[in-house]
Chains A and B, each alone.
Chain A
Amino acid sequence: MSVLTERINEIIKPENLVYAKSPLLNDDAMHYCPGCSHGVVHRLIAEVIEEMGIQEQTIGVSPVGCAVFAYNYIDIDWAEAAHGRAPAVATGIKRVMPEKYVFSYQGDGDLAAIGTAETLHAINRGENIVMIFINNAIYGMTGGQMAPTTLIGQITATTPNGRNADLNGYPLKITELIAQLPGAAYVTRQSVQTPAAVRKAKKAIRKAFEIQAKKIGTSFVEVVSTCSSGWKLTPVASNKWMEENMFPQYPLGDLKDSGRADADLYRIKG
């Protein structure tokens, strides 16, 4: 054994452990492409559930899209929803088990295209759930087609010459829309491309889960994400592309943090 190996082995001891995978994440290798943001967000959710000690009280709702198999990775009970219907499924679970923690996990096609109605109405009702939104501006699972959040000029399988506003309309800033809804308690936009960003995103997810216990409305966490396969870039180049192109359109930060609105603001006069 070399001197170097010996020195490394001296460090690798249980008492020196500073980071290990959450026991809520199982040992199966995730099916995601190299560098995919889904893996990071899955881990953050698992860590938050573990740290809050709510594994036995949490039910996740997975979408249709790349994250359909989210239920394979986090060791909690799950319901797999039809495309776009996760907020309705989460509503059903939460309404009959209000004491549980319920979260939905959706991509941009699921949440902002086919499931727009379910998304907006669940939040407008102020459902006491957490909604996690992965926005990578493309349909990953079906092979890189245009998403509602695809940017103008962005090349996808169904916009081979770039998204054209005349033909395809505009990128949907659904999180800005959601921040206008009286039922939303906490609306934030995060990212996970750097260690600092990941730590901030985890705090936001933790806050979203904590708000659920207060029953003050829906918490919504968008994570601006990459899809290196769909964007046809390396994971590192994808992060750079995201910072340059996505962040100006989808700026990071909290959009709302005031709890559900006072219903009296909307009351009839008599």
Chain B
Amino acid sequence: MGELRLMKGNEVIAEAAIRCGCDGYFGYPITPQSEVMETLMTLRPWEDSGMVVLQAESEIASIHMVYGAAGAGKRVMTSSSSPGISLMAEGISYMAGAELPCVIVNVQRGGPGLGTIQPSQADYNQATKGGGHGDYSLFVLAPASVQEMHDFVVLGFEMAFKYRNPVMILADGVIGQLMEKVELIDQRPRWTNEQIEEISGDWATTGKRSNRQKHVITSLEMDSNTMEQNNLRLQAKYNRMKDEEVRYESIECEDADYIMVAFGSAARICQKTVQIARRKGVKVGLIRPITLFPFPEKIIAEYATKVKGFLSVEFNAGQMVNDIRLAVNGKTQVEYFGRMGGIVPTPDEVELALEQRFNN
């Protein structure tokens, strides 16, 4: 068993990054996730593991530093919150286009605009539908606990390199600020140059040696036929993710008449709602998507013929509900309940919404 600690979600991102052998973090302060970089600067990993930590002049610079370092085959990451992620959209699109691995943490706050520093899940569409320009997808993980904040940093780097694709950890202010018990992995070494050569030696900018062609990190292609092939290659990769990497948690769905779908901190609230509803005699289950892209559409489609309805519970105006509707494809009723502006609903409030939406 690994070391157990009581930690804040944001702090554990930093701890997990160091322990999994991350090579670099480039970031810019923004509430509610500033503890990530503060923790890194306090832990000074450059003295031990050699991990680089740099406070950039903006989120734009941060993500492009990640672009450069990821292009060199290194395991690098950044973290921010909603307005900062909007600024990073350019770099994220370039990274998706150049097929660069990295981990991006978004501890969401309410929007639009400067919005609020309170928790939100209003960046669901931005995260799962690309967010920047062009046809691309991120691999999106939605942690619902401090333990998952830790685990998804490790898993995120694994997926990023498996698919040569940016990975987003889509957390929210609740998970970022929450303190929970967490089991930490043991310190792993950073990759050696030889390991990088083995893993990314056919594309990374490690310096052109005479025995190979030069490597160019770019998303640019002027020939339309080649560019379309590039697009098709990306789409094939995203389809592979859909086939192989869907992750979700299913809670009391087997006998359910109604299934709630919720991710992140909303799912924690819904877990309690399941108990409240069942005490009242209503058979309610919960599907918690862990990967938001790829979305667990198959399991939802399977239940669509068995249940009387789905309720999408989100801290936004109803974004994931559209993906549920697509998966359900008209086979059963799909409703939405959510709060905005940084308000986190209570389990009773969600239970009331269930009753109202489905006239129980």
Contact = CB atoms under 8 A, between A and B. Distances in A.
A and B touch in the complex (CB under 8 A): yes
A93 B68 contact: yes
A195 B330 CA distance: 74
A89 B72 contact: no
Given A68-B220, A77-B214, A92 B76 contact: yes
Contact of A82 (B23, B24, B58, B90): B90
Nearest to A93: B68
- Give chain B's interface secondary structure class: mixed
Interface residues of A, number: 31
B219 A80 contact: yes
A121 B54 CA distance: 12
Interface stretch (A54-62, A180-188, A251-259): A54-62
B60 interface: yes
A224 interface: no
Interface stretch (A95-103, A163-171, A208-216): A95-103
A81 interface: yes
A121 B61 contact: yes
A77 B204 CA distance: 8
Contacts of A174: none
Given A80-B220, A92-B26, A56 B208 contact: yes
Contacts of B60: 85, 88, 117-118
Interface in B81-120: 90-91, 94, 98
Contacts of B217: 78-80
A77 B216 contact: yes
A97 B207 CA distance: 10
* Interface range, B side: 35 or more
Contacts of B67: 79, 81-82, 85, 88-89, 92
A91 B52 CA distance: 11
B57 interface: yes
A117 B58 contact: yes
B206 interface: yes
Contacts of B94: 82
Contact of B68 (A61, A75, A76, A121): A61
Contacts of B64: 81-82, 85, 88-89, 92, 118
Given A61-B68, A118-B64, A95 B54 contact: yes
Nearest to B209: A56
A58 B57 contact: no
B216 A96 contact: no
B205 A78 contact: yes
Interface string B18-52: 00000110100000000000000000000000001
B205 A95 contact: no
A206 B293 CA distance: 48
Contacts of A78: 205, 214-218
B208 A55 contact: yes
A56 B215 CA distance: 11
Contact of B69 (A68, A75, A92): A92
A59 B205 contact: yes
Task: Select the residue from B54, B60, B207, B218 with max chain A CB neighbours within 10 A.
Answer: B207
Contacts of B58: 117
A95 B98 CA distance: 20
Interface of B: 23-24, 26, 52, 54, 56-58, 60-62, 64-72, 74, 76, 90-91, 94, 98, 205-210, 214-220
